[in-house]
Structures are given as C-alpha cells and as structure tokens.
Structure 1
C-alpha cells in the first residue's frame, strides 16, 4: 500500500488511518466514528482536536455517507493491488432502542433476550455504552443483579455482569455507588458460586471487575463497613487459578490495594492469610502489573507486626521481594524497598538478617547504590546497610570492602 496514493480526506485526523465509518462533528470536521467516540467518551475530551472549538459529549455525530461511499469505491478500484474492502461497522443503537431493552428486562419471557442484546451493544462501541448509561441500563442491571442474589438465581447473570463491567465507569457514578452500596453482598455471593454452576468463571471474573469499580468510587464509610467475610472471599478468589483471568486478577488486587489503606481492613486481610497467598500468587503469575499491585498490598500489610511476621514465615518471602528490585518497574522498586525498610526497622532478628544474607538481599542493596535509580531508593538501601553493618560485615557471604564502600 506504500505505492498507492491515499486521498488526504480519507484519513482520520485522530488515528491517521483510513476511516471505516466517517462521521462529521458539529465543528464541521469528519472523523472515524471509533476514534472520535474514544476521544469524547473514553478520554473525556470536550474540545474538537482539529478546530479546538467546544465539542460536547452529547453533540451529534452525523454519518458522512458520501465520504463512506467514496472510500468504499476507492477500495474496490484498488482491489487488484491487494487492498481488501473494509466492512462498514454497525451504526450505534438509538436511545429509544436502548430504553425498550430496559423495559424488556422487567418482562420474564423477554429478559434473557434483552440481556443478550445489551451485551452485544456494550461490546460494539463507545456511543452505545454512553446511550446505555443515559438510558438507565446501569441502574437496571444493578437491580437485576440484586434480584438474582435474593432469589439465588444465576439465569442471565453472566450477561448482566459482562455488560455492567463494560459500562460501569462511563460518566460519573458516585451517586450510584451510594445508592447501591448493597451491591457488595451480591458480588460476594457471586464470588462464592459453586464450580459446577454454568458460566461460574465468567460470572466471578466480571463480578470482580464490577467490584473494582464500586470500591474505586466508594467513600470511606463504605470501606469502613467491610466485613471479614469480604476479605475471605477475596482471598478465595485469588486461590482459584483454574477460574481467574488476568483481568479478574488485576481487579481483585486493585480492590485489595484500595481497601488496605484502613488499619481495620489490613488486620482482616492478615487474619485471612493474605500475605502468604499474595506471595504464592506472585511466584505463580508474575507480570509487571500484578507485581506492582502485590507489592503495594504487601507494603500496607507489612506496616503491621502480624503482616511482617506472616511475610517472614514464608520461605520465599524475603527472596521474592529481593528479586523484584530493579527487575520490574520503578513503582515496584519503591514498594519492594519500602517493605525491606520496614523489616529492617522493626523485624530484624538475627534469623532475619541471616536470611537476607542467604537470599542475597545485602548484595541487591549494594547493587541499588550502584544503579541509575532515584536518590530516595539509594537512601533506603544505605540506611539498611548502615543499620546492620556490624552483623553483616563478619559474614563470608559479603565482602567487607564492598559494604564499607557504600555505607
């Protein structure tokens, strides 16, 4: 396609790609629908990227049928040159269509079909998702979910939760969270579904994604009212390696990170053996995002004596923290070094200090001092080395000259 001239007006100003579904904004500029909807609804921009004029999110995007036909004709004319004709995306649903589907949710014989249609709409494009929120779909699905919980009925629940996870964060939903705080109990019920139930994996993962959104917008009062059962279910979800998806895993870890800011919640997590399970999880499913989240939670839990004790009781606890330093991301470095700093200050028994020698934590701290990393990390490493210099200097596992050089 490099040798084929593409008319400039075929190109979307945002994506710089040939438009598949050209639409004209009220500012007079034509964009590809997917790109401008992402600009408006996902990035929450309200300025036209070309003219810099106001472009409200509720403004009309008019299909440019003439330009679409020209682009299609161009594709056909250049078919012999190896250019495949594009398939025009479906237009967004109308608000009336969405409202009718919401009404169908209250009719027993049509609710499953309505759920299927809503799921398809939510997966298609941003405009559909925006219309769905404006049309009350989010509230209707929350009510449906609560009814499923009260009746212990999972029929259609997988579709409802899939759709909810796609539309929950569109527009502001603080008020909704306040009005539907009771959704936490239905989510806990969904997470506890038996493995033999149909679609239990889909239900659990999407329920966790919804929970992440709920907790992310929740006020301190909601977080303070969480019960021990909540954290037991969270830990139980982390153990289900045959069910959990990466998206569900990251959602669960984000929930734990968001709730661990309160001392009360940290204590309940520790009682549920969260520290042990997080270390096991990191050893099995390590990737950058997961590691950052795990280390963030562990840092909060290690601010408690019981949390540090649980980490130190795990055979791979200190070793795992040590190995992640300078190997993942700057955020992971900060969190891992902070954990080691807490252990050094408050839990540095003779056995712990020997373990740090054995798993090469001391060597890693020396490496941090040589590495190109922020000064505050080097300060933490230097502080740890200075604090325990008298113990480590006599060990055959580390050179005294090296220690002396950096402390």
Structure 2
C-alpha cells in the first residue's frame, strides 16, 4: 500500500516540462519545432501527417516542419526516470547499477551484447556517466576498433547506440568522428552493415550518427568514397519509420557533385517519386522535396527528374500541401527542369496535372522574392505549352487569381 502511494506521488510530481503538449505523456523523444515548442516526436509527426501546418500549442503557421532533437530536455527526462525508478524499487531489492570502475573494465574486456547492454544502461543513467565514457579517449578508441571488426549484428547495433548517445556532445562528436576516419578498420562499412541487417530502430540511430559525421567536411570526402553506404541509405527510404532520418543523412552528405551522381545512379529520384505519390508523412515529403532541390543543381539530376513522371507529378501535387520551405523547394525543382533545363516532356507533364494553376497560387502566396521570380518564369513557359488554357492571356504581374 505504501509503495502504491509512493508511485502515485511520483506520477503527480512529473514536471510539466517533461509532458508532451499533445499527448500529455512523458516525452520519449522530445523534438522542437521552429516555434520553439517541444513535443514528443511521435505525437508531432502524427499531427503533421494529418495535414496540419500549425504549431499545436501556439497555432502559428509553420514556415518549416523541420524538427530539432531537444537533447538537453531528453537527458533531464532520462535522469528523472532513472531516479524515479530507484525510488519506486523495494528497499530490499539490490541495485543493478554498475560503478565507473566496472564500466572501464567492461570496455577493456570482451565487448559482447551483455557487456554492451550494461555500458548503455550506465551511460543512460546520468549525464555524469555519459561524460565519463565520452571523455575517455581509450574507451572511444576501443569501441571504434571493435565496431570496425564486428561481424555480429547485435554487437554492431549496440555500439551504434553508444555512438549515438555520445555523438550529440559537440566536442565528443568531433573526437569520435576523427577516430572513425583514422581507424585502421573499415568503420564506414560497419555502418553500412547495420543499415543493411539491423533493426529499424538501429537503422534510424545509424543514419542520425552518419548525419552528424557528415557535418564535418573531411567526413563528407571519406563518405563520398563509400558508395555502399549511400546505397544502403537510399534503400532505407523504403522503411517508413526510417525515411526521415535517411533523408537527413543524405542531405548532409550531398554537397559534392560526386555524391549527387552516386545517389542518382542508385535510383534516388525514382524512390522519391514513389514517396511523393504515396501517403507518406508530411515531414518525409518536406525532406524529399529538399533532397530533389539539391539533386536538381546538376545537369544529370535535372535530366533524371524530368524523365520520371511520378516525380514530376508528385512535386506538383505536393505544392501548397507541405511546408512553405518545401513548396519553395518544389518550385525550385520545377524551374530547374522546365526553365533551366527546358525539358519539353516535363513541361507537358506539369501542364497535364494543372501545374500552371498551382504555380500561380504559389506565386500569390507569402513566398520569397526569388521564388516569385521563378514562378513568373514557369508561368511563361507553361502558358506557352498550354496555349488552349483559359489562363493563356493571364498576366503574371497580377496579385490574385480571377475565378472563371
């Protein structure tokens, strides 16, 4: 009875900051919108997938649906949960926590699923524990060495989770990045191994670690030389729960023309066409359009996009149905293909699905001046392609669309 009372007190004592404004449950994966409000990832992704374009708490229109992990809040929640679990445990039950000395011994010994699980539990228990492992060069070096040689998928998955926990710390992330790049073992192939054979959860964490690594220019050059890694990230786009993480990683890697060419070769454009024509979550569509905007900056990319009917049609259909940033990316892709590339086949496909009207609607919306200019050029090209349309004589300088 006393324990039940104590449990109820703990539930009442949950800090309001730890609760998701949508579900009112303690957040498992807190992420922040551009409005500064933090939600649980599952709840806000569900909200956006229903077609909403506002922040649920403030009702502000979202210029972007991009979410940023709230790492500080996540650590505070994990710390609070671990303390709550200790308080809820019967007084007679022995603690399962391990000491720093024991963790050091585990890292120096044989790293297997059992020992790695214990290390992860230790790291998650407190921020101090995280720093203890993360600030040990010997510990990180040992984990990198084992990761590069591991042939057991569970071992690789657990080490990726440790990398994920440590990589969010800026200084530690840089050191981890450096050790992975300098490792005599092939760590990048090990990441590809997890992306290919791991669970969906492990694949997401793997993609997020790679995204952090790719923020370093040196890493981008190294990753560019690992086509198998990019191929697996492209394949990951077919996994619904991992598509957003995969797009984020690919976007971080795609600054060089070499990488863009590899992604085109691996069929990225066709995969994006399938995503845009399906009922994917709004956040995934936003990232898909952002990825296409990057691919469309090279000639080869524009040619492949223009040749993919699902891709072109999907872009038109998503205009004004996604975030403002994604809509502008969609216009940028259409302009690149229809105006810069002057692809007549793509122009015809855009006109066929009422793309001219959509472009006019975007042009009259609250978009950037650069986007308005691209819309104006698109209207001229598409109007010429669709001479029979009632919109043929329509002036692109108007500020509204007259109903017919």
Short-chain TM bin: 0.5 to 0.7
User: Which runs of structure 2 are paired with 1:141-156 in the superposition (5 Å)?
Assistant: 141-148=143-150, 152-156=151-155
Deviation, 1:42, is 4.0
The match for 1:98 is: 100
Q: Is the 8 A contact 1:98 1:135 kept in 2?
A: no
Change (3 A) 1:292 1:127: farther
Instruction: After superposition, give the CA deviation of every residue in 1:108-136 in whole Å (9 maximum; x if it has no partner).
Output: 3x743321122223444444333331245
Relative to structure 1, the CA distance from residue 191 to residue 164 in structure 2 (aligned partners, 3 Å threshold; closer, same or farther) is same
Q: Which residue of 2 aligns with 1:128?
A: 129
Query: What is the deviation of 1:215?
Result: 1.8
Check 1:295–1:11 CA distance in 2 against 1; reply closer, same or farther (3 A cut).
closer
Matched, 1:179 2:179: yes
Other-structure match for 1:116: 117
- Give the number of the structure whose alpha-carbon radius of gyration is greater: 1
Match of 2:316, SS? helix
CA shift, 1:369, in A, is: 2.6
Where does structure 2 lack aligned partners over 5 or more consecutive residues?
A: 1-12, 20-69, 74-78, 90-94, 400-404
Please give the alpha-carbon distance, in whole angstroms, between the structure 1 residues aligned to 2:85 and 2:114.
30
Aligned to 1:71: none
TM-score by length of 2: 0.68
CA contact (8 A) 1:104 1:111 kept: no
For residues 367 and 389 of structure 1, the distance between their equivalents in structure 2, rounded to whole angstroms, comes to 14
Trace 1:259-338 onto structure 2 (pairs within 5 A): 259-284=253-278, 286-338=280-332
User: Is the Cα–Cα contact under 8 Å of residues 165 and 206 in structure 1 kept in the other structure?
Assistant: yes
The aligned residue for residue 73 of structure 1 is none
Counterpart in the other structure of 1:54 = none
SS of residue matched to 2:277? helix
RMSD of the TM alignment (CA)? Answer: 3.8
Shift of 1:350: 3.4
Give deviations 1:223-281, integer Å, cap 9, x for gaps: 4742333322222232xx4xx363x3222212211221101111111111111112213
Give, in whole Å, the separation in 2 of the partners of 1:13 and 1:188: 40
Bigger relative contact order, structure 1 or 2 (CA pairs below 8 A, ≥6 apart): 2
Task: Determine helix, strand or coil for the equivalent of 1:316.
Answer: helix
CA deviations over 1:284-337 (Å, ceiling 9, x no partner)? 462233223211221121222322222222222222111222221121022111
- TM-score relative to the length of structure 1: 0.67
SS in 1 for 2:215: helix
Distance 1:126 1:330, change over 3 A: farther
Indicate the residue corresponding to 1:34 in structure 2.
Answer: none
SS in 1 for 2:320: coil
Structure 1 residues 118 and 366, CA, compared in 2 at 3 Å: closer, same or farther?
Answer: same
Distance 1:179 1:335, change over 3 A: same
Which residue is 2:392 aligned to? 400
The size of the alignment, in residue pairs, is: 323
User: For the residues of structure 2 that align with 1:343 and 1:133, how far apart are their CA atoms?
Assistant: 47
- Cα 1:361–1:102 change in 2 (3 A) is farther
